[in-house]
Chain A
Amino acid sequence: MDEQSLIRRAQDGDATSFAELLDLYYDTIHRFAWKWCGHTADAQDIAQQACIKLANSLPQFRFQSAFTTWLYRLVISCAQDWQRQQRQQRQQRQQRRDVHDAVPPVESGTEGTRTEDQIYLEQVLSQLQQLGEGMKETALLVHAEGLSHAEAGEVLGVSESTISWRIHAIRKRMGQRERRKSVVL
Chain B
Amino acid sequence: MRAQSFELVLRDTTAPAPNPLVRLAAKQAALVEFAQFQALRLERAGRDLRSRENATAESGQLENVDVEGGAGTGPQASPQYPRSRPTSFRRPAIVNLLAGALSACIPAFGMVVLWSDGASLEFRPRIWALEAKAISEPAALVLVAELPLPIIETVHLEPPAFSIELADAPGKVEAMSELKPSAAFADTVDIPSESMDGDRFHAFETNPIKRVADEPVSTFSVDVDTASYTYVRRALSAGILPPRDAVRAEEMINYFDYSWPAPTSPDEAFRAAIAVNDSPWTPGNKLIHIGIKGYELPPHEQPDVNLVLLIDVSGSMASADRLPLVQQSFGLLLRRLKPYDTVAIVTYAGDTRVALPPTPVREWQEILDALRALRAGGGTDGESGIRAAYELAGNNFRQGGVNRVLLATDGDFNVGITDVEDLKKFVARERGKGIFLSVLGFGASNYNDEMAQALAQNGNGVAAYVDSGYEAQKVLVREATSSLFTIAKDVKLQVEFNPATVTQYRLVGYETRALRREDFENDAVDAGDIGSGHRVTAIYELTPAAPATATAPATASNTQTYGRLLIRYKQPDGRTSRLIEQPILINPPPLSPTLQRDVELATAVAGFAQLLRGGTYTGALTYKDVVRQAEAAAVNDPNGYRGEFLQLVEEAQQMAARGGGD
Contacts and interface: CB of A to CB of B under 8 A. Distances in A.
B192 interface: no
A113 to B, nearest CB: 10
Given A51-B27, A127-B6, A144 B33 contact: no
A120 interface: yes
Contact of A124 (B10, B18, B73, B81): B10
A1 B124 CA distance: 40
B169 interface: no
Contact of A56 (B1, B33, B104): B33
Given A8-B71, A55-B37, A44 B80 contact: no
Interface in B80-94: 80-82
B658 interface: no
Given A17-B80, A52-B29, A55-B30, A12 B10 contact: no
A73 interface: no
A107 interface: no
Interface in A1-31: 8-9, 11-19, 22-23, 26-27, 30-31
B23 interface: yes
A178 B141 CA distance: 65
A71 interface: no
Most chain A Cβ neighbours within 10 Å, of B6, B12, B27, B104: B6
B82 A15 contact: yes
A52 B29 CA distance: 6
Given A34-B16, A55-B31, A120 B4 contact: yes
Nearest to B19: A44
B10 A140 contact: yes
A47 interface: yes
A111 interface: no
B41 A19 contact: no
A139 B68 contact: no
Interface residues of A, number: 47
A182 B2 CA distance: 11
Interface string A155-172: 000000000000000110
Interface residues of B, number: 39
A94 interface: no
Contacts of A31: 15
Interface string B92-104: 0000000000001
A152 interface: no
A179 to B, nearest CB: 11
B26 A26 contact: yes
Contact of B23 (A15, A30, A40): A30
Given A14-B73, A51-B26, A56-B37, A40 B16 contact: yes
A58 B460 CA distance: 56
B299 interface: no
B22 interface: yes
Contact of A9 (B11, B22, B80, B81): B80
A97 interface: no
Contacts of B69: 11-13
B27 A121 contact: no
A27 B18 contact: yes
A89 B23 CA distance: 25
A14 B31 CA distance: 11
Contacts of A84: none
A185 interface: yes
Contacts of A51: 26-27, 29-30
Given A144-B11, A174-B6, A44 B30 contact: no
Contacts of B13: 35, 117-118, 120-121
Contacts of B11: 143-144, 146
Contact of B10 (A143, A178, A182): A143
Contacts of A27: 18
Nearest to B105: A15
A16 B22 contact: no
A171 B10 CA distance: 13
A182 B5 CA distance: 12
Contacts of B9: 117, 120-121, 124
B580 interface: no
Interface string B551-578: 0000000000000000000000000000
A15 B68 CA distance: 13
Contacts of A44: 18-19, 22, 26
Contacts of B641: none
Contacts of A43: 15
Contact of B15 (A8, A13, A30, A120): A30
B420 to A, nearest CB: 37
Given A56-B37, A124-B6, A143-B7, A47 B30 contact: no
B401 to A, nearest CB: 32
Contact of A47 (B5, B26, B41): B26
B30 A178 contact: no
- Of A31, A52, A178, A185, most buried by chain B (CB within 10 Å of CB) is A52
Interface in B292-315: none
Which residue, of A13, A26, A120, A128, has the highest number of chain B Cβ atoms within 10 A?
Answer: A13
Contacts of A144: 10-11
Contacts of A40: 16
A15 B27 contact: no
A16 B82 contact: yes
Contact of A35 (B4, B7, B15, B82): B15
A153 B38 CA distance: 32
Contacts of B104: 13, 15
A65 to B, nearest CB: 21
A139 B13 CA distance: 14
Q: Which of B26, B37, B104 has the most CB of A within 10 A?
A: B26
B204 interface: no
Given A128-B6, A143-B11, A182-B3, A16 B34 contact: no
Contact of B34 (A55, A118, A124, A140): A55
A54 interface: yes
A144 to B, nearest CB: 4
A31 B25 CA distance: 17
A48 interface: yes
A106 B497 CA distance: 67
17 contacts: A12-B68, A13-B104, A15-B80, A15-B104, A22-B26, A22-B27, A30-B23, A35-B13, A47-B18, A47-B26, A51-B26, A51-B29, A52-B26, A52-B30, A120-B4, A139-B7, A139-B10
Given A139-B7, A182-B3, 19 more contacts: A12-B73, A13-B38, A13-B41, A15-B80, A15-B82, A15-B104, A18-B34, A19-B27, A22-B27, A22-B30, A26-B26, A31-B15, A48-B29, A56-B37, A117-B9, A120-B9, A124-B10, A139-B6, A140-B10
In the A-B complex, list the 6 residue pairs whose CB atoms are closest, starting with the nearest: A51-B30, A34-B15, A55-B33, A55-B34, A48-B26, A12-B71
